[in-house]
Structure 1
Amino acid sequence: MPTPPPFVPPVRRIGLLQPLAWLALAWRDMARAGWISFGHGLALTLFGAAILWVGRDRFWLMAGALSGFLVVAPVLATSFYALSRAIERREPADSAVVWRTWTRWQGTRGREYWCLVHFGLLLALAATGWVLTSAALIIAFAPQPVLKPMDFVLHVMLAREGWLFEAWMALGSLLAAPIFASSVVAMPLLLDRRATVLQAVLTSWQAVVTNPLPMAIWAALILGFTLLGLGSLLLGLIPIMPMLGHASWHAYRDLVDVSGLPAREPEGAEGAQ
């Protein structure tokens, strides 16, 4: 008998400017979570700064590590989803929630325990594919060898003639679109409900297909705030990372009707409550 297709929860239609409401709700959650939310933002920012420092004179190393960091950000933001979930359920949003999330959220047996890891590895693989494709394009068409970050600025970004930088940007956008579509609600769904990676990815795609314009605005907001954080010597990422993480939880809650999927509770959470 043929295998039935996986159950994909229904996806709601949202208003064009609903992503702005997610950002407002994110600031509310940040205020309620307090230092634990901003502390995670600081930790992720320091991690990004360490990547830039290590790769400061090695362009492809920096590009690979930074691309991986940005692509795997939905996994790194898991703590923010858990804090917003606790706030929504009127539970304490503290370090205990974060600890349970990373150590006991999915129980201790079965393949479900590894679904977050599996999804993170898929995103890391996508980031690696982007770096290799980008390197092939630059190496093949750059007028001078690109070995350091300044080489990329001089010979690609500021080149007076040619189309290389425009092609590089277009290629990046082309490859980023399916990554965004696959991950926009996948991680919050995996955290909140007993779903497989395939169900989570299909749900994310359904959310984008059902709401193309609002999700395009959401993607533009994520990109714009990320660039703002990077352009502020990374200092802006301290509040931006929590804001985008908490907002992603509210995006998931607005977009997906999860009533048909069983809730996922961390082992020992009942006792903690």
Structure 2
Amino acid sequence: MPASSSMSKHQQFARCLESSHVSASAPFHWLSLAFKDIANAPILSLVYGLVFTLIPATIMYFVYQFDTHLVILPAVVAFALIGPAFAAGLYDVAWELEKGHKPTLFHSLKSMFRNPAGEWGFAFLLMVIMIVWMRLAALIHALYPNVVNPSFEQLSAFLTLGTIVGGILLVTVFAISAFTPQIMMERRVDLMTAVISSINAVKTNAAAMIVWAGLILCLVFVGFITGTAGFIVIMPLLSYASWHAYIAVIKTKKPRGYE
């Protein structure tokens, strides 16, 4: 009996949750549902939107105030650590709306501790990837031509290698983070199960994920060109849409009605 129980627990570790196939236009539907979530929980959305907006605004303030980029790395590391926790709060709001409940700030804050080991482990994983990128960027920068006005030909090696390495890391981060936080919060599974399931889901829905990544980049760009003020709406919007993406893509035993 103990051996059987041990084997069962072992089988539960680092498994891959099944995923559904969605159309390439599905991300637009997720965004439309996210707008409805904002309309149904405007105050909570505003509270979390303000918190998320303060983070990039603070980073930009220190960069301009001290005229140095040295504050960016520690600031982004801090965001990587606390960002997933606040995103979990927004996922909880969308989840409560899905269940027909009235979301509250207290309930959403409690959701940040539903799977603390997994959530902090995920934040640490993102931080490690980010530090690796910073080190690689420093090495790639060594290829930058040591001339005042380099030509495109002189810049080609620097630009090519930087684009390839940056692209690989961006795709990697997107694949492991697209569904990992949502899976860990609702299913309370281990980090490896969530990461493997997220990567598989992204691979299964490559077309939809390319569209979704493009929409995220466009909205984040809008957030920065508005002086970070746009993030007040954009961050709740993306978080709610990410929850609906999770509902649509990661399979459950029972069908879900809020898709």
TM over 0.5: yes
Deviant stretches of 4+, over 4 Å: 1-5, 70-75
After superposition, where does 1:157-176 map in structure 2 within 5 Å? 160-161=151-152, 162-163=155-156, 164-165=158-159, 167-176=161-170
Determine whether 1:35 maps to 2:29: no
1:34 Cα offset (Å): 1.0
CA separation in 2, counterparts of 1:168 and 1:70? 22
Identify the residue that residue 144 of structure 2 maps to in structure 1: 142
Task: Kindly report the root-mean-square deviation, in angstroms, between the aligned alpha carbons of the 2 structures.
Answer: 2.6
Point out where structure 1 has 5 or more consecutive residues left out of the alignment. Answer: 107-111, 146-154, 261-273
Q: Which of the numbers 95, 111, 115 marks the counterpart of 1:101? A: 111
CA distance in 2, matches of 1:241, 1:235: 11
1:165: Cα distance to partner? 4.0
Match of 1:85 among 65, 73, 95: 95
- 1:251 pairs with one of 245, 248, 251: 245
- Structure 1 contact 30–243 (Cα < 8 Å) conserved: yes
Q: Which residue of 2 aligns with 1:7?
A: 15
Q: Which residue of 1 aligns with 2:217?
A: 223
1:206 corresponds to which of 176, 189, 200: 200
Distance 1:219 1:35, change over 3 A: same
| TM-score with structure 1 setting the length | 0.79
Q: In the alignment, which residue of structure 1 is the partner of 2:124?
A: 121
Q: What are the Cα deviations for residues 119-156 of structure 1, in whole angstroms up to 9, with x where unaligned?
A: 11111111111112112211x123469xxxxxxxxx8x
Please name the residue that 2:234 is paired with: 240
Q: Is the 8 A contact 2:48 2:86 kept in 1?
A: no
Distance 2:68 2:25 in 1: 40
Instruction: State the alpha-carbon separation in 2 of the partners of residues 207 and 51 from structure 1.
Output: 33
TM-fit CA distance, 1:176: 1.0
Q: What's the % identity of the aligned pairs?
A: 26
Task: Flag the structure with higher helix content.
Answer: 2
Residue 171 (structure 1) shift: 2.3
In the alignment, what sits opposite 2:58? Answer: 50
Q: Which runs of 5+ in 2 are unaligned?
A: 255-259
Give 1:130's aligned residue. 133
Q: Is the Cα–Cα contact under 8 Å of residues 31 and 238 in structure 2 kept in the other structure?
A: yes
2:34 to 2, 26, 30: 26
1:129/1:199 CA distance change after superposition, 3 Å? same
Q: Which amino acid aligns with 1:61?
A: V
Aligned length in residues: 241
Give CA-to-partner distance per residue, 1:5-26, whole Å, 9 cap, x none.
7332210000110010000001
Compared with structure 1, are the counterparts of its residues 6 and 121 closer, same or farther at alpha carbon in structure 2 (3 Å cutoff)?
Answer: closer
Q: Cα offset for 1:242? A: 0.7
Contact 1:72/1:124, CA 8 A, preserved across alignment? no
Q: CA deviation at 1:46?
A: 1.0
Partner SS state of residue 93, structure 1: coil
For 1:52, the aligned partner's letter is M
CA distance in 2, matches of 1:228, 1:133: 28
User: CA shift at 1:227, angstroms?
Assistant: 1.4
Q: Within 1, Cα distance between the matches of 2:160 and 2:220?
A: 20
Deviation per residue, 1:149-192 (Å, 9 max, x gap): xxxxxx8xx96531234543332221111111011011011111
